[in-house]
Amino acid sequence: MELLLILVIGLLYTGGVYFILRRSMVKLLLGIMLLGSATNILIFVLGAIVKAKPPIIGSAQEVLNKTYADPVPQALILTAIVISFALTAFAIVLLKRVYALLETDDLDNLNTPEEEDI
């Protein structure tokens, strides 16, 4: 299972970098989204995938002796999902506004201002 997730992570990072290197703003946004998803899965895999009970210590125990699921990677991933959703929503609104003004999504056209001949 972990090997399959590692391959998926590699494919997502590869696709994300490929899309970021394109000239379209929409592909840039898709690349950022792919990199965010790959990073979330990477954190999930690094947190160790185990079938275990939640980390709750009983009233009679002082230390948790059994195997338990680590809640820190899960909390990090949940936070990253919320932040990436906000970033994506903001970027979509920004892309829509830029496209409405310039009528193009080519990044090269954003760097060179159009000067009118006098």
Q: Give CATH for domain 2-51+68-105.
A: 1.10.287.3510
pTM for the whole structure: 0.79
Per residue in 71-115, pLDDT (tens digit) is: 888 899 999 999 999 999 999 999 999 899 888 888 887 776 666
Distance CA 36, CA 109 (A): 27
Give the chain's largest Cα–Cα span. Answer: 86
Asked whether residue 65 carries a pLDDT value surpassing 60, the answer given is yes
Average pLDDT for residues 4-9, to the nearest whole number? Answer: 94
Q: Which two tokens stand for residue 43?
A: 């954190």
The number of angstroms, rounded, from the C-alpha of 29 to the middle of its chain's C-alpha atoms is 11
| Domain segments of the chain as ranges | 2-51+68-105
